[in-house]
Structure 1
Amino acid sequence: MTITIQYVKMPTSETLTAFTEKRLNKLATKYNWLINAQVFFKLGQDINKKSICEIELSLPGPKIFASSKAENYEVAVKEAISDLNKQLKKRKETTYHH
């Protein structure tokens, strides 16, 4: 799986990149039919300035998307990947069990 990480209007972080890649690679080993992952890190525009992580996965069929707002980026990544895992589990059940 190819992983593309973009930091929108904020400085890049090697540790956050490594953390995100590690989490996504775990997902890729569980679901080996994933093709591509695009990750966007943004700073929220509301009063709290929460951290936003958006992840879009390319796979056979429609793309899967998850977004999460949290106090820090690590928690946002965990929540977004957890949401993706649920969606992938549903997709696997409907697609591969005929």
Structure 2
Amino acid sequence: MSNDNINNNVIFEYHDVTASDTLEKYTKDKLQTLFTRFDFVIRADVFFKTENTTSDDTGMKCGIRLSAPGPRLFAESSHNTFQNAVDESINELTRQLQKRKETMKSY
């Protein structure tokens, strides 16, 4: 998938967070790997929000919903930085996509 394609297929939403080109580029770079490795992924919706937490290690929340054949895939995590939250969400989605790919092969 070309880089132009990923721009059309990634939607960002911010809740109580200022939009950030740097954060979007970081997230798109990470998502590019998923789009390339799992070519059945059609679109990603990325949600950033802050939440009040008692821990300094959480509060920056990233949720990513992927559109692909079958049930929607979703992962969300909360960390001290949005980048860490993106990384964990991507790791979780990679696990889910791997399972989905194995299921799809069996048909």
TM-score of the two chains, using structure 2 as the length reference: 0.86
Identity %: 37
Number of residues paired by the alignment? Answer: 98
Q: Secondary structure at the match of 1:17?
A: helix
Select between 38-47 and 67-76 the one with higher mean Cα deviation.
Answer: 38-47
> What value does the CA root-mean-square deviation take over the aligned residues?
1.2
**In the alignment, which of 3, 8, 31 is matched to residue 10 of structure 2?**
3
Residue 42 of structure 1 is matched in structure 2 by: 49
TM-score of the two chains, using structure 1 as the length reference: 0.94
Runs of 4+, deviation exceeding 2 Å: 45-49
Structure 2, unmatched stretches of 5+, are: 1-5
The Cα of 1:7 is off from its aligned counterpart by 1.1
Q: Secondary structure at the match of 1:12?
A: coil
Residue 75 of structure 1 is matched in structure 2 by: 84
Q: Distance in 1 between matches of 2:19 and 2:54?
A: 23
**In the alignment, which of 62, 72, 75 is matched to residue 66 of structure 1?**
75
**In the alignment, which of 11, 18, 27 is matched to residue 20 of structure 1?**
27
